Amino acid sequence: MSYRDRDRSTSSRGFGGRSDGGRGFGDRDRGSRGGMSDRGKASLKGTQPGQGLRKPRWDVHKLPKFEKNFYKEHPVVTRRGHHEIQQFYAAQQITVAGKNVPKPVFSFEEGGFPDYVMNQIRKNGWQSPTAIQSQGWPVALSGLDMVGIAQTGSGKTLAFILPAIVHINHQPYLERGDGPIVLVLVPTRELAQQVQQVAHEFGRLSQIRNACVYGGAPKRPQLKDLEDGAEICIATPGRLIDYLESGKTNLRRTTYLVLDEADRMLDMGFEPQIRKIVEQVRPDRQTLMWSATWPKEVRKLAEDFLHNYIQINIGALQLTANHNILQIIDVCMEFEKEDKLVKLLTEIMQEKENKTIIFVETKRKADDISRRMRRDGWPVICIHGDKSQQERDWTLQEFRSGKIPILIATDVASRGLDVEDIKFVINFDYPNCSEDYVHRIGRTARSSKTGTAYTLFTPGNIKQASDLISVLREAKQVVSPKLLQMAESARGYQGKSRWL
Ligand code: AMP
């Protein structure tokens, strides 16, 4: 594959290095920026996020042309037969839907990435692409819209970042006043920072800059990164709207749009903001949407934002947990939970690898339990949505480094949190839905390691029993008779069982 590798030794990425006026990203774009700024200022007085953003009247024929298909199939891939590919799909649990789906690549070499990318991959010691990368790269590099149904931990970040880098390296340089070429929308600050790490690790190799913008942190440093000319912007929706409304940035140059963890963004109520933001991006962009689940709300987003998209599912289509996790369910009463937690942690702390995350239902409970545990001498820290960004960064750093091995968290940390060596997940409180259960326990057993998840399951969770049993059975885990009994009584008495 011939990727245009920009002259990395001499080019200064960012502003003014080169004039691409001839390609159409010149004065016209810069000129309209002032108007946007005024609209933004007016709207800040309003109440609805994004109220001041008007949908541009896009006329695709008048917009500057851009390239999005850079894929040249490797000869080995071309020669590979249908049967071999079907076997690969079955082994990797890949299912695809859509027209003219490019064949998957079986190795990094077949992806045809430039040397500097390959060197980094080798440095990381990775053997082969993950399933989502094998099928995602050929689709994304071909400029096609795609939906990827894949869990965090599946390697999906790299699945969209490497094609993003190739995409950027084929576009004219940014000029002063230009917004990002690649926009990645994410639900949480933690995920934003993780995506940024990957964007930095691979982007810096060709002087690609990024800006990471999220709420709860000072605006000025983030803005500086944006204004300095970032080709990639990784953003939570609220903060980005803020910058768009006030005219601090714009999405006129954006041609590669990623919606990461779309299901989570909808859960968190970001849909209006997402719609506002996507309206600001030219309609002939390439759009990649990622989600761990595929409920009808996510489907609707895909229908509204994507064109003739290819869908890639990784894993069985039902709700499935990572099979490298040992799942232990302890059916007990609410009042027994604290004693059980202490016993469990006493055992865990005797292990050599003991990094543990404990999920609780509310912020208050997280604070309360961590305070009491600390008082009793446990090495515990706590993270939830009310903590300032500084506290959250510090907490994650302490946990990541292993200085403090026990993290108590609300669901804010259940998706996207990528700490490689978490060995135990404890569900002190069962989550509201089984999908959250799967995401929470997925914090352990990252990248083919193993882990253990303990769940305290009480009569108050009875409605979730049968879903949980399906997850356990699919992962070939032991289902305790007590749990089966609960599920049965929930069915028999329509929720009014002796357990309630
Ligand atoms: P993600 O699903 O993007 O959160 O990635 C999960 C983890 O897998 C991260 O720690 C990555 O560094 C790692 N990873 C990504 N791609 C590969 C690969 N091809 N082989 C091994 N590990 C990978």
Banded model confidence at residue 14, pLDDT cuts 50, 70, 90:
very low
| pLDDT tens for each residue of 111-120 | 988 888 999 9
Q: Is 148 in the pocket of ligand 1 (CB under 6 A)?
A: no
Determine if the pTM surpasses 0.75: no
Residue 420: name the closest of 258, 194, 112 by CA: 194
Between residues 51 and 172, which one has the greater pLDDT?
A: 172
Banded model confidence at residue 419, pLDDT cuts 50, 70, 90:
confident
Q: Is 153 in the pocket of ligand 1 (CB under 6 A)?
A: yes
Give the mean model confidence (pLDDT) for residues 33-56. Answer: 52
Give, using CA atoms, the residue closest to atom 14 of ligand 1: 155
Which residue type is seen at 301?
L
Tokens in use for 128?
A: 């082969």
Atom of ligand 1 nearest to the CA of 416: 4
Gap from CA of 447 to ligand 1 centroid (Å): 6
Q: How far apart are CA 347 and CA 359, in angstroms?
A: 18
Atom of ligand 1 nearest to the CA of 154: 2
Name the residue of 107, 122, 124 whose CB sits within 8 Å of the most ligand 1 atoms, as the mutation to test its pocket: 124
Q: Supply the pLDDT for residue 497.
A: 41
Give, using CA atoms, the residue closest to atom 20 of ligand 1: 126
Q: What is the mean pLDDT of the chain?
A: 85
Banded model confidence at residue 414, pLDDT cuts 50, 70, 90:
low
Q: Is 172 in the pocket of ligand 1 (CB under 6 A)?
A: no
Gap from CA of 415 to ligand 1 centroid (Å): 15
Tokens in use for 167?
A: 């995409």
| pLDDT tens for each residue of 422-454 | 999 999 999 987 778 988 898 888 766 889 999
Judged against a pLDDT cut of 80, whether residue 382 lies above it is answered with yes
Helix or strand run (H / E) with residue 358: strand 356-359
Give the mean model confidence (pLDDT) for residues 167-180. Answer: 95
Helices (H), 358-464: 363-375, 389-401, 434-441
Which of 57-71, 85-99, 182-196, 309-323 has the weakest average pLDDT?
309-323
* Residue environment code for 101-123, b if the CB has 16+ CB neighbours within 10 A, otherwise e: bbbbbbebebbbbbeebeebbee
Q: Is 143 in the pocket of ligand 1 (CB under 6 A)?
A: no
Q: Is 130 in the pocket of ligand 1 (CB under 6 A)?
A: yes
Gap from CA of 129 to ligand 1 centroid (Å): 9
**Burial level of 125, CB count in 10 A (0-12/13-18/19+)?**
exposed
Strands 146-149 and 380-383: unpaired
Q: Is 155 in the pocket of ligand 1 (CB under 6 A)?
A: yes
Q: Is 156 in the pocket of ligand 1 (CB under 6 A)?
A: yes
- In the chain, what is the straight-line distance between the N-terminal and C-terminal CA atoms, in Å? 62
Q: How far apart are CA 292 and CA 186, in angstroms?
A: 13
Residue 145: name the closest of 288, 274, 278, 257 by CA: 288
Give, using CA atoms, the residue closest to atom 23 of ligand 1: 155
Give the mean model confidence (pLDDT) for residues 205-232. Answer: 93
Give, using CA atoms, the residue closest to atom 12 of ligand 1: 155
Phi and psi torsions of 181, nearest 5°: -90, -35
Q: How far apart are CA 441 and CA 454, in angstroms?
A: 9
Give the mean model confidence (pLDDT) for residues 407-413. Answer: 84
Q: How far apart are CA 134 and CA 442, in angstroms?
A: 21
| pLDDT tens for each residue of 322-381 | 788 999 999 999 999 999 999 999 999 999 999 999 999 999 999 999 999 999 999 999
Which residue type is seen at 332?
C
Banded model confidence at residue 317, pLDDT cuts 50, 70, 90:
low
Give the mean model confidence (pLDDT) for residues 198-222. Answer: 94
Q: Are 323 and 451 in contact (CB under 8 A)?
A: no
